[in-house]
Amino acid sequence: MAALSRRVGLLSVIAVVGLASCGPTTRGGGQGGGATSAESQPARTLVAAVRLEPTTLALRPLRETFAAPYLPNRMFNAEIAVLDDQAVSHPYLVEALPQLYSSTWRVFPDGRMETTYAFRPNLSWHDGTAFSAEDFVFGWRVYTAPELGHARTPPFNAIEDVVAPDARTLVIRWSQPYPDAAHMVGRDRQFPALPRHVLAAAFETEPTDSFANHSFWSREYVGLGPYRVLRWEPGAFIETAAFEAHATGRPRIDRVRMVFIPDVNTVLANMLAGEAHLAADNSLQFEHAVTLKREWDARQGGSVIWHFNTWRGSNFQFRQAFAKPEALLDLRVRRALAHAVDRSALNDALYAGIGYLADFLVPPLGEWGLAAQRGVVNYAYEPRRAEQLMREAGFERGPDGVFTSPLHGRLAVELKVTAGPDNEKEVAALASAWKEGGFDVAQAVVPNALAQDLEIRASYPGMYLLSTPATERTVVSFTADTIPMPESRWRGGNRSGWSTPAYTGLAERFNSTLDAAERKEQLAQMSRLFTDDLAAISLYFRPTVWAYAADLHGPGPVAAEPNVAWNMPLWELR
């Protein structure tokens, strides 16, 4: 891991210097964002495979999506800032980020704040229309419209007003402290600009459903990112070209074709044959990535990146209306289940030991993860301790070896998982381990067609084996107001229903504390509360796969929070 850290740090220095040195190129006007004669010349096309066709290219869709489209998010969008491979924010659309307790980031005695952003000159949208700070004001109006459902989400729930004194200046007035006010970068925390010239008329005149179905949100997207759409062939591919007017300069690769390949074997064949240069966004599963790596290592054909941005574990059901068996509400039973799992053996069997063992929701690799690790209660593999805890809870092994009690009877638990080759192998191995330990655990696979149903995702009876982003933003989602319920149409990230007043209070303070040292201490305390009450069984950080051919230069390992494609404008295809 030390070698990985040094490699990541070196890439960070090289790439940030590169971004800073890429000054604006010649700006074109008119339809197509200033296409030049260079675009008509023959050029190599980067072919990138993704598993699912995007439903939208928008950085922050109006409608909830369950995919993680990291590559299209990066290709077609630009934000106020960008996170480098070490999760450090750098100016992107702006000339500099606001500095706390300065004229660009003022904090008032009552807790309100004001931040000021100066945009780079000559920015434009993909269609050649000049960008203005008013496009951020319009974005704020759209995302805070009550009927569209984003007004209560960060950062909008902390914003009082947004104004543009001139075309290159944006001022945000905050109703409360917001620690990430300088950059507002991070999944589900973005504040995107929206093109007024495309959407303003529809927003003012059309019903909500009609506006949410506007073609901009799907096949006629106009963004600010390094690539613009040339052609979108439904079910097949998106053809793109380098955006001449990109904020930090024209990307070095002229064209990118993003192909949709749902079959992992086809992705593997394309990568081995050299028909694709990049496999992104879960287009390769772990075992296929191992095969690719073995084949490539023998002939220096390319590299595989293991990205530890996904926590993998089992949520319990804490809402009494759904929890079955009720014995899972007993902390001793939950702890017994945790001590009965050999996480290391599971990691070895499923991921050749490459997965990073987890004690909590964030990996102990960055500043937040190391802070959280100070508070964790560890549940090592101890079968004897598991049996002792079950006896304390009133359970003994019956003639068939399964725990039973006079009060609860046979302890039968349903373990759900969403369909998928890796998922189904994992749930089978986990259920088998628990059965060996005396727990009658039945597997239940949720078909992909139902996996996006919010009620199904939240109303499971026993346990749900799932993944979630491995960042501090997931940590603060376990609050009472984010528990999905029928009256909220099952919306909310806290699908297990676990929360305590103490934890909610810490999460609220973490979200409003500006001092970094205080926030790290709050995170450590949340880690202690979460693991001590065993809100979920943490297994490991599953290695998410990105792979790139030897003739593609630029991708590399990153921390949990950033996008692997963060420095895509600097990539080269040689």
Proportion of the chain above pLDDT 90, given as a percent: 78
Closest Cα to residue 59, out of 171, 184, 205, 152?
184
Per-residue model confidence (pLDDT) at position 20: 37
Residue range(s) of every CATH 3.90.76.10 domain in the chain: 2-238+550-573
Predicted pLDDT of residue 481: 87
List the one residue out of 246, 249, 200, 199 whose CA is nearest residue 220: 199
pLDDT at 63: 75
* Cα(61)–Cα(53) distance, integer angstroms: 15
The Cα 496–Cα 482 span in angstroms is: 10
Delimiting residues of CATH 3.10.105.10 domain(s) in the chain: 308-543
| Beta partners for residue 260, in sequence order | 50
CATH of the domain spanning 2-238+550-573, picked from 3.40.50.720, 1.10.1740.10, 3.90.76.10, 3.50.50.60 = 3.90.76.10
pLDDT of 64 reads 65
For residue 263, the model assigns a pLDDT of 95
Q: Would you state the pLDDT for residue 68?
A: 57
Q: Is the pTM value of this prediction over 0.95? A: no
User: Which residues in the chain come in under a pLDDT of 70?
Assistant: 1-42, 64-68
Structure tokens, 426 = 């994992």
**pLDDT tens digits, 186-241:** 877 899 999 999 999 999 999 999 999 999 998 999 999 999 999 999 999 999 99
State residue 3 phi and psi, 5-degree precision. -65, -40
Please list, residue by residue across 162-174, b when 16 or more beta carbons sit within 10 angstroms of its beta carbon and e when fewer do: bebeeebebbbeb
Name the percent of the chain lying above pLDDT 70.
Answer: 92
Which CATH number describes the domain made up of 308-543? Answer: 3.10.105.10
